[in-house]
Amino acid sequence: MNLAEFTHASLAIQLHMVAAILAFFLGGYVLIRRKGDRLHRNLGKAWVALMAVTALTSFAIHTIRLVGPFSPIHILSVVVLVSLVAAVRAARRRDIPKHLNAMRMLYLFALIGAGAFTFLPGRLMNRLAFHGDAPWTGYATVALAAAFTVFVAAKAWPDLLRRGGRIGKPGSV
């Protein structure tokens, strides 16, 4: 692991990384615990704030420039912000199936999916995790995060395996 990479990164990247990592763990916990009580609502508000910080700070990160200062990942940031608003509105309207689906999809695609791409060779998370004096700590950390992801998936989508891997309503593709 090479923490010097983190300390030399811009403030926007540091905030983005910390918010995303906290959202990963907090979101996983919220997905697997009991729903609807005060703690769920408070943790959910914190998770929404962390996801908003993650999305908003991405607009100050311009390491990949395909269209001016932006890249396709910035489209995901807009989708995340719009989805967060929609998910909160659904909860306030007591449309719990829509709220739950939106939050699950945000966790799966915006954190797990997009987060996995940050570990590709040449990216900061790859250098931070797998380079430096003790790369084994990065591999161990990523292995623990992967195990946490599998655990959350098994708890948040308990019938996923029974439906042949389809996410969504029973019978959906």
Confidence (pLDDT) at 172 = 46
**Across residues 53-79, what is the average pLDDT?**
81
Report how far Cα 46 is from the mean position of its chain's Cα atoms: 13
Tens of pLDDT, residues 18-27 = 999 999 999 9
Q: Are 19 and 140 in contact (CB under 8 A)?
A: no
Confidence (pLDDT) at 145 = 84
Tens of pLDDT, residues 75-101 = 889 999 999 999 999 999 999 999 999
Confidence (pLDDT) at 47 = 97
**Across residues 133-150, what is the average pLDDT?**
81
Q: Could you tell me which of 74, 27, 71, 72 has the C-alpha nearest to residue 49?
A: 27
